[in-house]
Every structure is written in structure tokens, then in C-alpha cells.
Amino acid sequence: MQNKQQVVVTGFGALTPVGNDRESTWQALLAGRSGIAPISRFDAVGLPTTIAGEVKGFDPSALLDRKRERRSARFSQLAVAAAREAVADASLTVGAAQGGVDAERVGVVLNNAVAGMDGVEAAVDQLHADPRTISPYFVSSVIPNMPACEVAIDLGVRGPVTASALACASGIYALLEARRLILSGEADVVLAGGTDSAITRVMFQGLSNMGALSKRNDDPARASRPFDADRDGFVFGEGAVVCVLESAGHAAARGARAYAEVAGGALTSDAFHVSAPDPTGAGAVSAMRRALVSTGTEASDVDYVCAHGTSTRINDLMETKAIREVYGAHAYDLAVSSPKSMVGHLIGAAGALSAMVAALAIRDGVVPPTINLDTPGEECDLDYVPHTARKTDVRAAAVNAFGFGGQNCVAVLRAV
């Protein structure tokens, strides 16, 4: 029986490298289809890495009028599209006058990691060519809170609207913050998730100089290979995923279906390095354990871990060690998989996508695979669901997200 104070997800919207909506993304992930391809957003000739996970076929002019399109950056445009789908999926109407939820009781928590990097890079080029061509909307379009604000403007939301940046943990933390807003009584409904779009020459050169990106340019579909012995770095991607959260009582009162409960989670810091994870996994272990304890979830209750699984040497090994330490012998009974094997790393949207994957795995009783896992890497000895999706009952799932700066966020989702 549902507790009316449970916070549940009633809608999803997604634009990813494998689909421009929720269900097409989900079916592509189940099919093990890769969305990694040569970069088309700019001329990548001369860069060490020339592949990415791009959102394909997205036309902002079909979504926004010309003025709004010109004033907004791509990460906001993707967010608006995902939010519209999420609201429709949840059968949610904003505005009491329209017979829906009071707009002042609806909030937005929409996080990102690198904000409007593409707009900044373009503006710098304009500055050198002709400063007069820089848009008066340049500053407002690239700042980190703008996707959340654009979604609020688009939907007429007047409740709490916020954005925070936790690097690659941003997208999943949004759900925990949204949950707090609902449980504190500050909102009845919150749109939560993540968005990022920073496929630019400067970003790729910087990450390449760091040694973070895969250089498997001749075989893009096989470049992202979490937990595999031949992994050589992550694949940079873009996208947006937005979820509709509300209390179970509120959802039931308006006749909405719930995908899963967002039971809670935890946030910790490595306090170790600006980009490398603590190889001991201490911070990740702490976040996983606190997430289980705070939600009253026994390790043996968890059926699926949607892994951070970036395809980098250190991260995949650290995450495996941390899962083993937290789950003990049960670690070998878990299904563990990484959507990044197919879409690459969506940065600020990555954790929100993982939350959607966990919720749909609970809904459908199937776990998407980790593709390209031909030979497990040294000490990577868990069940990573290689190559092919697997039918299995998922009653509880944990979502891991670890970001630059040592930010570790873990959420627990449960069946309702």
C-alpha cells in the first residue's frame, strides 16, 4: 500500500543521443543501440577525439517562436522540450484556472554541469570578429539557472525554481532536492532533472588534454565501454531528462500513474582531487551506505544498480570496489549496468537519465545492458549485464553518480 507521503515519479521527458523522447530512448537502450557518432556540431578535424553523443534531429524552431529561440541556449531548449514531454506524460496541467495544479505550488529543480559553454565559445569568436554582433541575450542565455527559468516561463510555474551544479552528479541530485521541497510542504509538484549541451572545440580540447576522452575515433559505436579491459576514456555527450515528482497522495488525488518511488538518497564528498575520484572509493561507499540507511533499504533489497560507469580506468574500478564493499556477497547477485555505454556521458543530464532508466526497469522488469563489454577489466568482476538486456524483477534500484571535485550522489528508487 502506498504511503501518501511517499514521493513518486509520474512523468518523464527525454532527449538523448539515442532518442528524442522517453520511450524511443528506452527502447534504444534495451536494444543496445549506440548513439555515438562523429561530431557534427563543429569541424573536429585536428582534435584528438572527434566523436560524441549528440542529440540528433532536434529542431528548436519547431518548439519555440523565433524570439525565444534566439534568446535561449541549446541546453535550455533541450530542457524545455523534455519538460513539455514530462508534463504531458504525467497528465499534468499547470494553473488552477485551467483546472490544474496551482502554479504557485509547482516548482522546478533543473541542474547542469557546464552551462552554456557553446554560447560562451561562440561569443568569444564574435568578440574578436565584431563585438557589435554579440546578442543582448548572451549573458542571460548561458548562465546556469536559465534552463530552470526557461522551463518555468514556458509552463507558467510560479513555485520554487532553482538550479545547482554538482558536475556529473547534478542530474540525480535534482531529484533529491525536489523530494525535499515536496516533503517540506514548499511544493506539491516539482519538475526535476538535468540538461547539458557543451559539445565545443574548447571543451573537447580541454578534456583531451586531461586524458579523459576515448580516442576510438575509427569505431564510435564501440568507444564507450564501461568496465571493459580496453576502455580508454569516456565519450562526451549532451541531452536533457526531466521528471515530474509529487507526493503519492497528490498523484492519487488527481488520478496520475506512478512509475516508482524516489525513496531518498545521500550526497558526500571525496575531498580528494578536482577531477580524479578517490581510488579507495571511500566517498562513494559513504554515499551508497547513507542512501540505503536513510531510505530504510537493506543491501539485499536492491536488485539493480544503475552505475555511473563512465568507461574510464579509475572510475570503473573504484565504483566496482565500492559496490563490493557496500553490498558484500549480495554484490554478485546484483544486476549492474551503465547506460553510458550507449549514449556516452550526458554530464549534467547523466544522473537524471539513470533515474529514468531505473524507474523504467522497475516498471517493465527489464534491465538495459552494458554494451561493448567484451572482456571485463582487472578486478571488474560484477554482473554488468553485458551486451543484451535482461528480464528480471526489479523492486528496488540504486542510482550512482560521481562528479568532478569528488561529489558523490546516490538515490534509491522503489516499486510502488
Hey, which residues are catalytic here?
Answer: 168, 308, 345
H or E element, residue 316: helix 313-327
Beta bridge partners of 208: none
**Burial letters 356-376, b for 16+ CB under 10 A, else e:** bbbbbbbbeebbbbbbbbeeb
| Amino acid letter, residue 102 | D
Count the Cβ atoms, other than its own, within 10 Å of residue 298: 10
Measured CA angle at 288 (ends 285, 293), to 5 deg: 120
Strands of 106-223, DSSP E: 106-111, 161-162, 189-196
Residue 204 CA to residue 360 CA, distance in Å, equals 32
Instruction: Kindly give the interhelix angle for 350-364 and 170-183, rounded to the nearest 10 degrees.
Output: 70
C-alpha dist (Å) from residue 221 to 17, 35, 158, 217: 12, 7, 42, 9
The helix, strand and coil proportions of the chain, stated in percent and rounded to the nearest 5, come to: 40, 20, 40
CB 241 within 8 A of CB 194: yes
Contact 156, 103 (CB under 8 A): yes
